[in-house]
A and B are shown apart, each in its own frame.
Chain A
């Protein structure tokens, strides 16, 4: 019921906030134990060839300035605390993007004694970008999905199709 009690003024403010959030996602990049392959692809995404600044994405050094934590690799037991600390240092609202197969499930390191698992074992992840490593196009696509989600829109038809497909496969 609280939703319906909001005044039109608050709704407009919320729209402005969402607009600003969607148009200026500042990212911080953390490698929690990956082989550096995904990190090279992320850096390639930020280079002039793909130029993420045209979407407002900026790589920030300080977690205090960042909105999106771009995380690569399986979470090793060593880096688990550091990853959590970086996440807690970021101000709300904050989002997490897991890049690469290892970030999704642990990848080839799955089940290893020194691995805590994929990133979703430690943090609430908003977007998973699969690939070993994912191409810069895939990273941009994943980021666009995150922003569409922030805007409150449904995922694009292709993603819906993929989701339906995986759901069907799981049922079989």
Chain B
């Protein structure tokens, strides 16, 4: 059972909050890149590659482009990373009790995760570069398209568990004989594809499509700012995987389950990444609102009907 809790200072700086998230995020970035490389018949990066990238970017010169607001330019990466890391405090990271928990923290955690994407969008719009402007538009458009279906898909387990508190949903999913993935397959599908949209992984990587718009919203970022945004994305990867594993893969009771379930999800995501080609931004929006949202609502309706009967 899941009885361990963490003292506040350690929670902020070491275990679910600070250092653990950094290292785990870098580790998962490596797993993701290595898996994609192996699936493409390549050797792939070495295990310390994300760390080397991060340190190198931190040591590089940071150029503030002319015409952008310097305060925002410096502040946004910090804000994005801080928001992504704060949302980890409400999640059962590594199978431990969440460091903080209150009624409705599911919504807070999701909004904190969205702050990272909004930070990206504002950062892109802050610079006068045309590529980053298009990237920012695409990032925010994609945010508005995947956010609603993803939230609806996560509401399914919450409604079944009768609580919007992540720790209670975690307890509930652990006690179920069947994983919610089996009892709510449509919701799981939407959540999984929503995860890929949230992380801007290949079928949904139009916001940073380097063959069209250089590097999207982050085109003008160099050095420290870019490093922090990359780190924020890695943290988001860990958090989003934990969220979906908690809700749909039978909860996280201990570190071993955390490792197996999130890594399993990551392997699945890596396969999907290599399988699909990039969607255009209008196709992404169409997919989400025409199919994703409808599927998620259908799943919720089925749940209501079953509850009534």
Contacts and interface: CB of A to CB of B under 8 A. Distances in A.
Interface of A: 16-17, 19-21, 23-24, 26, 48, 51, 53-54, 56, 60-62, 64-65, 67, 89, 91-93
Interface in B33-70: 33, 37, 40-46, 48-49, 51-56, 59-63
Contacts of B40: 48
Given A17-B59, A62-B220, A91-B63, 18 more contacts: A21-B56, A21-B59, A23-B49, A48-B41, A51-B42, A54-B43, A54-B45, A60-B215, A61-B210, A61-B214, A62-B215, A64-B215, A64-B219, A64-B221, A67-B56, A91-B60, A91-B61, A91-B223
Contact of B222 (A23, A56, A65): A65
Nearest to A66: B222
A71 B223 CA distance: 22
A61 B215 contact: yes
B179 interface: no
Q: Which 9 residue pairs of A and B lie closest in terms of their CB atoms, listed nearest first? A: A20-B55, A23-B52, A91-B61, A61-B210, A20-B56, A64-B222, A61-B214, A51-B42, A62-B215
A92 B60 contact: yes
A17 B40 CA distance: 31
Q: Contact residue range for chain B?
A: 20 to 34
Contacts of B214: 61-62
B42 A48 contact: yes
A91 B222 contact: yes
Given A64-B220, A91-B60, A24 B52 contact: yes
A62 B45 contact: no
B61 A53 contact: no
Contacts of B221: 64-65
A93 B46 CA distance: 23
B215 to A, nearest CB: 4
9 contacts: A20-B59, A23-B56, A51-B44, A53-B42, A61-B214, A61-B215, A64-B215, A89-B63, A91-B223
Contacts of A53: 33, 37, 42-45
A152 B51 CA distance: 21
Contact of A56 (B52, B63, B223, B226): B52
A65 B215 contact: yes
Contacts of B219: 61-62, 64
A65 B41 CA distance: 26
A92 B61 contact: yes
Interface string B206-236: 0000110011001111110010000000000
A171 to B, nearest CB: 41
